[in-house]
Amino acid sequence: MAAASMMPIFSQNVSSKSDLVPDWTRQEVSTGTTIMAVEYDGGVVVGADSRTTTGAYIANRVTDKLTRIHDRIYCCRSGSAADTQAIAEVVSYQLGFHSIELDEPPLVETAAHLFRASCYRYREELMAGILVAGWDRRKGGQVYCVPIGGMLVRQPVSVGGSGSSYIYGFMDSNYKPGLSKDQCLDLTAKALALAMERDGSSGGVVRLATISEEGVERRVLLGDQLPKFSTH
Amino acid sequence: MEKHFTDSRVKGVSTGTTILAAVFDGGVVIGSDSRASIGGDYVSSKAINKLIQVHDRIFSCIAGSLADAQAVTKAAKFQLSFHSIQMENPPLVIAAASVLKELCYNNKDELQAGFITAGWDKKKGPQVYVVSLGGMLIRQPVMIAGSGSTYIYGYVDAKYKVNMTREECLQFATNALALAMGRDNVSGGVVNLVVITEAGVEHIVIPGDKLPRFSDE
């Protein structure tokens, strides 16, 4: 599995007249982040933190990184905020058009391929790691990972963003095939909370969504509702 | 946020590695993988020992440049045995950790090595100290380090509890190392564990085929 890990971009500036102007005004806006998506029988659970940074400044502490692409297809964005927003808009448009032509809800695999097409074609210019997840009638719940560089792979569970490195061990040991929806929600919430504790570029609240045949259910876990672990 | 140091940038032989130490009720477990690599491309040794005994009940494990670490531990071992003779008492774990810290801090420009020191002494019982790259020394109940440690921060935060039993702690350490070795390409080989208690020191080696397996995708 390739990690769509986004290293927070620290200052590369040399000029000293920058003393009067804070560094972060010259940093690109990044969603240094933690995102996660898990398949279960009947749908998918997606989750993300809510921090957007420009260098050391948190530009948005309640970001929504779970972006709707279609009725039953969402994407989790990590990397450059501008790049991922632009790609998501393009793909939403393409997918909406395709769906009207077909007169059918689009497949998650189609959405994933559209993401990959854009990410791979413009891989030199872009900095985007995306998880595409959703439900369709043909294959049920699916998660596709499109990391930086434009690879495409389907996985039952996937994490991305700068905070993802810290939770690979937790995820490997706690994920088993055949979990229920509530178990997936619990796993995602815990994993995101752990990553947010360790990664400086992830934090804020935990946003979760479940996507199934019935529709999309969204929820937010605020600071005091986050899973806690014994401190040491 | 502390800058994360990846061992693959170390020139020469590096212990791109995963090391861990954890306190349990009555003792401490210290463990590591056994791989030494050059630049992340070539495994120069499949089974090296990264757990150095600096005194009877004090062990240190090394991360970073193998050459630097060997030189530092050699100097530390000497200083510590001398200190122990002078005091006419086994050295305290914090003494061992401080010796390493002094060496790391005073030579911080030349060295690229970090240490986890764990042991048992009569004054404070089981303890774990970490000396990081620049020479900071802190004490913690559980500590992980090395390139493979990034992948198990979440696991360690979630799983470690204070006052575990010896068996629980061994299982925790084995699982954590196995998970890290599964994700980090410069960590691997066998799992070396040492259990230090008032009674003595026990070495445990777990070969690759006996490591715990986690459901792979």
pLDDT tens for each residue of chain A, 232 residues long: 444 445 554 544 444 445 666 666 666 666 689 999 999 999 999 999 999 998 889 999 999 999 999 999 999 999 999 999 999 999 999 999 999 999 999 999 999 999 999 999 999 999 999 999 999 999 999 999 999 999 999 999 999 999 999 999 999 999 999 999 999 999 999 999 999 999 999 999 999 999 999 999 999 999 899 988 866 5
Is the CB of residue A1 less than 8 Å away from at least one CB of chain B? yes
Q: Which residues of A touch B139 (CB under 8 A)?
A: none
Of A155, A173, A200, the CB nearest to B179: A173
Set out the domains of chain B in order of their start, with CATH numbers.
19-207 (3.60.20.10)
Q: What residue ranges do the domains of chain A occupy?
A: 29-221
Residue at A112: amino acid letter: A
Instruction: Round to whole Å and give the CA distance between B144 and B150.
Output: 9
pLDDT at A163: 94
Q: Sign of dihedral through CA atoms A219, A225, A231, B1?
A: positive
pLDDT at B134: 85
Residue B7 contacts residue B16 (beta carbons within 8 Å): yes
- B18 catalytic? Reply is no
pLDDT band at B15 (very low <50, low <70, confident <90, very high): low
Q: Which residues of A touch B160 (CB under 8 A)?
A: 230, 232
Instruction: Round to whole Å and give the CA distance between A203 and A221.
Output: 12
Please indicate whether, in this complex, the C-beta atoms of A168 and B158 are within 8 angstroms of each other.
Answer: no
Does residue B154 register a pLDDT over 60?
A: yes
Instruction: Using DSSP, state whether B29 is helix, strand or coil.
Output: strand
Of B140, B154, B216, the CB nearest to A170: B154
Please indicate whether, in this complex, the C-beta atoms of A166 and B151 are within 8 angstroms of each other.
Answer: yes
Q: What are phi and psi of A104, to 5 degrees?
A: -155, 155
Topology of domain A29-221, per CATH? Glutamine Phosphoribosylpyrophosphate, subunit 1, domain 1 (3.60.20)
Instruction: Round to whole Å and give the CA distance between B75 and B90.
Output: 18
